[in-house]
Structure 1
Amino acid sequence: MKFVVALIRHETNTFSPVPTVLGDFRRGTGPGGPAYGEAAAKACAGTNSAAAAYMDMAREMGAEVEFAICANAVPSGVVTRDAFEHICDTVVASVSGGCDAVLLDLHGAMVADGFPDAEGELLRRVRAAVGADVPVGVALDFHANFSRELIAHASAIAGYCTYPHIDVYETGARVGRSIRALLERRSEPVILWRRLPMLTHMLRQTPAMQPMKDIMDRAMQAERDGLVRNASVFGGFPLSDIPYAGLSIVIVADRDKMPAAQALLDELCDLAWSRRADFVFPTEPVAESIAHAKSLPEGPVILVDHGDNAGAGGTTDIMDVLEEVLRQGLEDVVAGPFCDPACVAELFEKRIGDEVTVDVGGKIDMPALQLTGKPLRLTGVIEKLTDGNYTITGPMFTGMTLSLGRTVVLRIGESVRVFISERPQEPYDIGLFTHAGIDPAQVKYVLIKSRQHFRAGFGPFARHVVLVSGPGVCSSDYGLFPFEHLSRPIYPLDQETTATDGDGLVQAAR
């Protein structure tokens, strides 16, 4: 028996001005783009990834694994056609050699040049190559967007139940169990899917709290009870201007349990739709948020600049929030990482201990939001020069290696330390600070660019969390975005939207 495994992850913010090229698909695989074959398997083995769960299941079943590609990129702009075609061609070449199952570890919100639903197009090509009878299992990120094509060509689908995403391996195991039941002829699955016409705010999506918590809890309990094979609630990725954005629910059920599965789908959709107003996050001026943080007596206080988050396609070079932190005189601060390769190159020509004045960030314009880059001039002392490499020890993607590229720690005054890196990275693990000898749990203020993922690594020691609505292509103010391709009407952009304005499909699994 032979399984083909592939990991392909990219969350595409279509408003980002930074295109995603093949060389960007290197996160967790080292420099130089994707990994293939044994190198890909080595990059994923023992990690908190769906691909690792697939490999473990194959070992249990005595199956051979061909690992086609491990291609994992930091969220950014649209994937170039060349990169997408290369990734698809690699997977199709592997499955065309013959296999008993295809097991895909995908994101679900990738947009490529010419393909607004890149994963749906990948599945279409895979299905054309393997035929109707080979099972195709798909693990997806909680922020996946769905088209009919993605549903039509899959045999089993499951998504992360957590945000921050700490159950990635478990999601692969859930997909694997459904595929194994299909291979062993213990299941005749059907996939039920519905997309509601609502753009949920990412700061209101997490299943750790309401309004999402008991919706996800109900889905997970139904799966544990055996009512269905898989039950997944997807918050969706709202910063992709495509017709498929929105909250979706996907159920995989045995054919003889279809009525119960349909009732569960209706129940979950009704509950989510009834709470649509609760999924909207109100913003406030940056100065007010920083003033509130300054008034808090004890730290660590985590300042979360969610408008410029690399984990949702932000450039991480917008300096407005740091500028306000300095203006209001906060002390004992660690901040970053701010992505500025040119600044890093300049500082690496200096030595530790040198006093320098540099213009940090603000190198990238964002025409979609009419934002012009505005560097921040900083004077400080170079405290650290590092290679930016670290291994994740926290609960999200545990064991994977990441790299900020060359990284500089610049000390401003006596107690403000600013991390400047060659590559963007959302801070969901403290390793991006501790690799440079700085423990964020021991400072008063930690300024990072994130939304929810920071809670995985920083939540355990945070005394306070202040959400700061800084500018950028990850803003929670959807009124700033020039949406053109969404399926309309959609809430909250269109207040008169009804639940029937969405989409859905019942599909016999293939």
Structure 2
Amino acid sequence: MSTSSSTLPRIAIAGFAIESSTFSPHRADFRDFPIVTGDALVNRYASIAPGTQLRDAAQWLPVLGARAIPGGPVLANVYASIRTQILDGLAALLAEGPLDGVFLDIHGAMSVDGMDDAEGDFVSAVRALVGPDTVISAAMDLHGNVTQPLLDAVNLITCFRLAPHEDAWETRDRAIINLVDALRQGRTPLKAWVRVPILLPGEKTSTRVEPAKSLYERIPAIEALPEVVDAAIWVGYAWADEPRCNATVVVTGYDREVIAARAHELARAFWDVRDEFEFVGPPGTLAEGVDAGLASATHPYLISDSGDNPGAGGTGDVTWTLTQLLADERLTAEDSPITLCASVFDHEALEVLAQTPIGAPVDIAVGARVDSGPAGPARVVGILHSLHEGDPAAGRIAVIRVGGLHVIVTEFRKAYHAVTDFTAIGLSPADAQIVVTKIGYLEPELYDVQRGWTLALTPGGVDQDLERLGHHRIDRPMFPFDTFDHEPALEAVILP
């Protein structure tokens, strides 16, 4: 551990995160990574916001934060550029004196063209730069992947404990607090690591329901042990075909035997309930969802277009679902109840729609410019209901009305995962009979507003049917792809 001459420890902050489906033809470019620097980067973390005790406990040195919404793999030149910017920023801080700590805000499922372990490469580069004595603490998504290069490079590591991720910021603050505690104690913990040969989609491992709910509820009691600093369970990321994709348990602490036993305990508990995981929402076909939605006495009825969920890595322009909705006269007649369909993105279509008067008839092909696998562009013949500008994610937005069906077309990729995403463009989910949106499990706002729900098992880059996607590079055997001749040992590997 470094011994800075400053009274207060010097702690750098950097982040680089995306969730990448290798089955998605989308490629993440510079536009996908909003950059945050300076005080804005420090102040986003509640534990070190102005006026908190930890704010005055260290010199917080912002480098750069780059976090994208999920998508496909990152273009190699984009990854190299952001990686270099962060390393250059750290080097500039090191030129002023040693760093006592580094807090890294990462994901764990970032794929990069030509690489199999992007986070391992990135964090290893940070370690090589700052040296062996700087304490590195990382916060991750529970849908990330954990490899030995990553673990070798960090001293402290933790991940979310809720899915949906209502504890995302709490987790990042925990990683910061653990870092400060380690510096105060002048020692860093050991890590007990267990790879669990399970790979399941997030919609089958939500902590809203069993068995994941009880599995993750084991963590606080383990973390409360005096010999333990943190306990974490990673579900892993099912929509990448990489050798690192599997479930993982890591327990950090100061007693080798205790953390090994507790890591084995959590891993064994995960393995023992492997056959109990089911979809968090009622699964079904899109047609079954539409039938249920139209028959529902209460509204809105939510339908997840799960195969093209941009919140999990889908391109956001698969038109398979939209094409089916447009062909359903129960939705497109003038007297049909309101159905909201969010969304497809199409820059070229917006160029045309932006020049069209509100209320004018339109006949335009939209979507399937990035992922045309499940369906080609959808022909939308209707009335231009509204136009909007200024959305930082979506850019320009058009709403086309086809009878009761309101089709949302955006200039760029956007996930419609909150009620406010709709109300910002004058559409009220509460007034709609059906809301169809590209999502898997419902985020809290939509979960609270729904009066019925179908998790539609639709095609796309984050298809819930993993067999249909065709993994061939993951380690085998792997549940549920394979049967096991004998139980895995699930013994912990201890790392310094």
TM-score normalised according to structure 2 size: 0.90
Give the distance between the partners of 1:188 and 1:2, measured in 2 at CA: 17
User: Which of 450, 460, 470 is the matching residue for 1:462?
Assistant: 450
The residue correspondences of 1:184-195 to structure 2 (distance < 5 A) are 184-185=184-185, 187-195=187-195
SS in 2 for 1:432: helix
The residue correspondences of 1:238-257 to structure 2 (distance < 5 A) are 238-253=238-253, 255-256=254-255
- The answer on whether the counterparts of 1:58 and 1:64 sit within 8 Å (CA) in structure 2 is no
Aligned-residue offset at 1:44: 6.7
- The answer on whether the counterparts of 2:339 and 2:432 sit within 8 Å (CA) in structure 1 is yes
Aligned-residue offset at 1:497: 6.3
Distance 1:289 1:504, change over 3 A: farther
Aligned-residue offset at 1:310: 0.4
What's the counterpart of residue 25 of structure 2?
Answer: 17
SS in 2 for 1:338: strand
Aligned-residue offset at 1:506: 1.5
What's the counterpart of residue 115 of structure 1?
Answer: 115
SS in 2 for 1:403: coil
- The answer on whether the counterparts of 2:22 and 2:239 sit within 8 Å (CA) in structure 1 is yes
Higher mean C-alpha displacement, 343-352 vs 281-290: 281-290
Give the distance between the partners of 1:497 and 1:107, measured in 2 at CA: 33
Per-residue CA distance 1:286-322 (angstroms, 9 max, x = gap): 3233223333221111111101100111112222223
What's the counterpart of residue 174 of structure 2?
Answer: 174
Which amino acid counterpart does residue 462 of structure 1 have in structure 2? Answer: Q
Give the distance between the partners of 2:419 and 2:285, measured in 1 at CA: 28
User: Which of 443, 447, 453 is the matching residue for 2:436?
Assistant: 447
User: Which of 259, 262, 273 is the matching residue for 1:261?
Assistant: 259
SS in 2 for 1:289: helix
SS in 1 for 2:112: coil
- Is 1:148 the counterpart of 2:145 in the alignment? no
What's the counterpart of residue 430 of structure 1?
Answer: 419
What's the counterpart of residue 308 of structure 2?
Answer: 308
Higher mean C-alpha displacement, 234-243 vs 477-486: 477-486
Aligned-residue offset at 1:95: 2.3
Aligned-residue offset at 1:239: 0.7
Aligned-residue offset at 1:159: 0.5
Higher mean C-alpha displacement, 197-206 vs 325-334: 325-334
- Is 1:419 the counterpart of 2:408 in the alignment? yes
TM-score normalised according to structure 1 size: 0.87
Unpaired runs of 5+ in structure 2? 1-8, 332-336
SS in 1 for 2:207: coil
- The answer on whether the counterparts of 1:201 and 1:279 sit within 8 Å (CA) in structure 2 is no
Give the distance between the partners of 2:290 and 2:55, measured in 1 at CA: 53
What's the counterpart of residue 466 of structure 2?
Answer: 478
What's the counterpart of residue 159 of structure 2?
Answer: 159
Q: Please provide the CA RMSD for this pair.
A: 2.2
Aligned-residue offset at 1:479: 1.2
- The answer on whether the counterparts of 1:204 and 1:278 sit within 8 Å (CA) in structure 2 is no
Higher mean C-alpha displacement, 217-226 vs 113-122: 217-226
What's the counterpart of residue 66 of structure 1?
Answer: 61
User: Which of 471, 484, 489 is the matching residue for 1:496?
Assistant: 484
SS in 1 for 2:379: strand
Give the distance between the partners of 2:476 and 2:395, measured in 1 at CA: 41
Unpaired runs of 5+ in structure 1? 27-33, 390-401
The residue correspondences of 1:45-60 to structure 2 (distance < 5 A) are 45-46=43-44, 51=45, 53=47, 60=55
What's the counterpart of residue 6 of structure 2?
Answer: none
What's the counterpart of residue 405 of structure 1?
Answer: 395
Per-residue CA distance 1:180-234 (angstroms, 9 max, x = gap): 1211126541111212111112211111211201110001332246562111111
Which amino acid counterpart does residue 409 of structure 1 have in structure 2? Answer: V
What's the counterpart of residue 268 of structure 2?
Answer: 270
User: Which of 355, 374, 394 is the matching residue for 2:361?
Assistant: 355
Distance 1:411 1:192, change over 3 A: same
- The answer on whether the counterparts of 2:321 and 2:458 sit within 8 Å (CA) in structure 1 is yes
- Is 1:5 the counterpart of 2:13 in the alignment? yes
Distance 1:424 1:492, change over 3 A: same
Give the distance between the partners of 2:181 and 2:305, measured in 1 at CA: 44
Distance 1:226 1:289, change over 3 A: farther
- The answer on whether the counterparts of 2:304 and 2:437 sit within 8 Å (CA) in structure 1 is yes
Give the distance between the partners of 1:305 and 1:497, measured in 2 at CA: 37
What's the counterpart of residue 5 of structure 2?
Answer: none
- The answer on whether the counterparts of 1:4 and 1:94 sit within 8 Å (CA) in structure 2 is no
SS in 1 for 2:311: helix
Which protein has the larger Cα radius of gyration, Structure 1 or Structure 2?
Answer: 2
SS in 2 for 1:229: strand
User: Which of 366, 386, 389 is the matching residue for 1:387?
Assistant: 389
Give the distance between the partners of 2:377 and 2:491, measured in 1 at CA: 44
What's the counterpart of residue 31 of structure 1?
Answer: none
Give the distance between the partners of 2:472 and 2:491, measured in 1 at CA: 18
Aligned-residue offset at 1:25: 0.9
Which amino acid counterpart does residue 386 of structure 1 have in structure 2? Answer: H
Figure out how many residues of one structure are paired with residues of the other and give that number. Answer: 474
- The answer on whether the counterparts of 1:200 and 1:276 sit within 8 Å (CA) in structure 2 is no
The residue correspondences of 1:204-223 to structure 2 (distance < 5 A) are 204-223=204-223
Per-residue CA distance 1:149-207 (angstroms, 9 max, x = gap): 11111111111111111212211121122111211126541111212111112211111
Give the distance between the partners of 2:144 and 2:53, measured in 1 at CA: 26
Per-residue CA distance 1:1-50 (angstroms, 9 max, x = gap): 32211121111111111222223212xxxxxxx34x32xx426734xxxx
- The answer on whether the counterparts of 2:137 and 2:156 sit within 8 Å (CA) in structure 1 is yes
What's the counterpart of residue 394 of structure 1?
Answer: none
- The answer on whether the counterparts of 1:489 and 1:501 sit within 8 Å (CA) in structure 2 is no
Give the distance between the partners of 1:372 and 1:475, measured in 2 at CA: 11
What's the counterpart of residue 29 of structure 1?
Answer: none
What's the counterpart of residue 130 of structure 1?
Answer: 130
- The answer on whether the counterparts of 1:201 and 1:280 sit within 8 Å (CA) in structure 2 is no
Give the distance between the partners of 1:112 and 1:83, measured in 2 at CA: 9
What's the counterpart of residue 347 of structure 2?
Answer: 341
- The answer on whether the counterparts of 1:197 and 1:246 sit within 8 Å (CA) in structure 2 is yes
- The answer on whether the counterparts of 1:15 and 1:240 sit within 8 Å (CA) in structure 2 is yes
Give the distance between the partners of 1:122 and 1:88, measured in 2 at CA: 7
SS in 2 for 1:343: helix
Which amino acid counterpart does residue 440 of structure 1 have in structure 2? Answer: P
Give the distance between the partners of 1:111 and 1:358, measured in 2 at CA: 34
SS in 2 for 1:491: coil
Give the distance between the partners of 2:448 and 2:171, measured in 1 at CA: 24
User: Which of 68, 74, 78 is the matching residue for 1:79?
Assistant: 74
- The answer on whether the counterparts of 1:148 and 1:504 sit within 8 Å (CA) in structure 2 is no
Aligned-residue offset at 1:94: 2.4
Give the distance between the partners of 1:178 and 1:353, measured in 2 at CA: 57
